[in-house]
Each structure stands twice: as structure tokens, then as C-alpha cells.
């Protein structure tokens, strides 16, 4: 869990990621569930905005960390496909970096519809794991590593499907925007270390020491409204 938490922290502390989170909070209403909340940063930030913010994550250790870090939030251990919430109990649903770990996202979208009140807003954000750009002295190996990392996930390309998923599940007014999160220094190393070790990672570490890392992660943000 600590490795995953380090990766999440490295990503979430980037200025571009902070801006993206702020965008994802728009029009979520006064009661928001953050599905796959991880370390709870979004829940804490939403609570600071005066929302009733509820974090749900499948990992009990993550929930323990989140509750310690962000005591103003409400946290529950739970599955994205079976949320511990009543029908029509929230005005906003947010799932960030979640659907790529689900082989079939349909049950999660069905749950989003169930827990949202009519007129509520669903927001999906996440990276396309097969489209990460990394500057390297060995482009062929880097390309192979990116594809191998993507293929090790249940649903690595689901972010490019967000718009269609929302439409297929009855959401209206669906919008989608693309954002690019860029790493240029040592914060990129936990991300790169999750992909490989040995000489390739050594080269990236040397680049970081010289402020020459370049990693670009395409992130998509899609949103839609639940009808009556």
C-alpha cells in the first residue's frame, strides 16, 4: 500500500494535478462521494469547500490513512460496484483513477446512477496508460515498457471511453476534456520505478539529478448529469 500511496502523492502534489482536481469539483453540489478515494486528498479538499464529502475505497489501510490525514471527511471501506450509500443520496459522484482497475466498468456506472439524485453530476477522471510519453535514450525499450505497464492493468485504456460510458448509462450533457500532467524532476521517479528497474531506471534517475526528466501523462475528465 505504501508504494501506491507514494505514487498517488507524487502525482497529486503536481500543480497541474491540483488544477485538474479543482476542475473536477465543479457543480458537484453539497453532498459528494469520492469513489476510490485513496489517501483522501479530494475528500479533504471538498470538505474544506463546505461539502459533505464521503470517501470510499476498497483498501482498509487507505481508508485508515485517509481518515487520519483528513478528519473532516467521512470514510468507508467499500467497492465501486457496491457503494455503501442509499439510493439518490448524493448530489455529486467523483471517480478519479479508478475505472482502469475494473475489467468491466458497467457496474460502477450503474452504481453512480443509483446513488446520485436526479440532476446530480458524475465526474470521471483518469490517465490513459497506453499513451504516456517519456523521454529516454532508448525509445524502443521505453515504448515496450509503457505498453507492458498498460497491459498489466485490467482496463488501461478506459479513460478514452469515459464519454461513451456516461452516454451509454443515460447521463446527459456529457462533456470531456483532455489535460496533460508533466513531470520534469525527481517526483517522476516513483512513477518510472513502477515500470522498470536496472539500467533504464538508472538513466532516468541520472536525468532527474540533472533536471532533465520529461514524463507527460494524458488525463481525461468527463462529466454528465443524471436524468430524472
Q: What is the DSSP string of 86-103?
A: -TT-EEEEEEES-GGG-S
Which distant-in-sequence residues (6+ apart) come within 8 Å of 38 by Cβ? Answer: 4, 5, 8, 57, 62, 66, 97
What average pLDDT does this structure show over 112-125?
98
Secondary structure class of 220 (helix, strand, coil): strand
pLDDT in tens, 203-222: 999 999 999 999 999 999 99
What grid cell was written down for 83? Answer: 457503494
pLDDT in tens, 173-183: 999 999 998 98
pLDDT of 1:
55
pLDDT in tens, 150-174: 999 999 999 999 999 999 999 999 9
What average pLDDT does this structure show over 123-130?
96
pLDDT in tens, 69-116: 999 999 999 999 999 999 999 999 999 999 999 999 999 999 999 999
pLDDT in tens, 24-68: 999 999 999 999 999 999 999 999 999 999 999 999 999 999 999
For domain 2-127+156-180+220-225, the CATH superfamily is Vaccinia Virus protein VP39 (3.40.50.150)
Name the pTM for this structure. Answer: 0.92
CA distance 54 to 32: 6
Secondary structure class of 80 (helix, strand, coil): coil
Pair type for strands 52-57 and 215-225: unpaired
Per-position b or e across 161-179, b if 16+ CB within 10 A of its CB: bbbebbeebebeebebeeb
Amino acid at each position: 500500500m505504501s508504494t501506491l500511496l507514494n505514487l498517488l502523492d507524487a502525482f497529486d502534489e503536481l500543480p497541474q494535478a491540483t488544477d485538474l482536481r479543482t476542475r473536477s469539483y465543479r457543480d458537484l453540489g453539497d453532498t459528494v462521494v469520492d469513489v476510490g478515494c485513496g489517501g483522501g486528498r479530494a475528500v479533504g479538499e471538498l470538505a474544506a469547500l463546505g461539502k459533505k464529502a464521503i470517501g470510499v475505497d476498497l483498501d482498509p489501510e487507505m481508508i485508515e490513512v485517509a481518515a487520519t490525514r483528513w478528519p473532516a471527511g467521512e470514510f468507508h471501506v467499500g467497492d465501486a460496484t457496491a457503494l455503501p450509500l442509499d439510493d439518490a443520496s448524493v448530489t455529486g459522484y467523483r471517480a478519479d483513477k479508478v475505472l482502469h482497475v475494473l475489467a468491466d466498468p458497467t457496474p460502477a456506472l450503474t452504481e453512480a446512477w443509483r446513488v446520485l439524485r436526479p440532476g446530480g453530476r458524475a465526474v470521471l477522471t483518469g490517465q490513459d496508460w497506453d499513451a504516456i510519453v517519456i523521454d529516454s535514450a532508448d525509445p524502443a525499450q521505453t515504448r515496450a515498457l509503457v505498453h507492458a505497464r498498460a497491459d498489466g492493468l485490467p482496463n488501461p485504456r478506459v479513460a478514452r471511453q469515459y464519454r461513451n460510458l456516461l452516454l451509454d448509462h443515460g447521463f446527459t450533457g456529457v462533456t470531456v476534456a483532455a489535460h496533460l500532467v508533466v513531470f520534469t524532476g525527481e517526483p517522476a521517479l516513483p512513477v518510472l520505478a513502477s515500470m522498470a528497474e536496472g539500467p533504464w531506471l538508472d538513466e532516468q534517475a541520472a536525468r532527474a539529478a540533472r533536471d532533465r526528466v520529461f514524463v507527460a501523462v494524458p488525463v481525461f475528465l468527463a462529466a454528465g448529469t443524471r436524468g430524472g
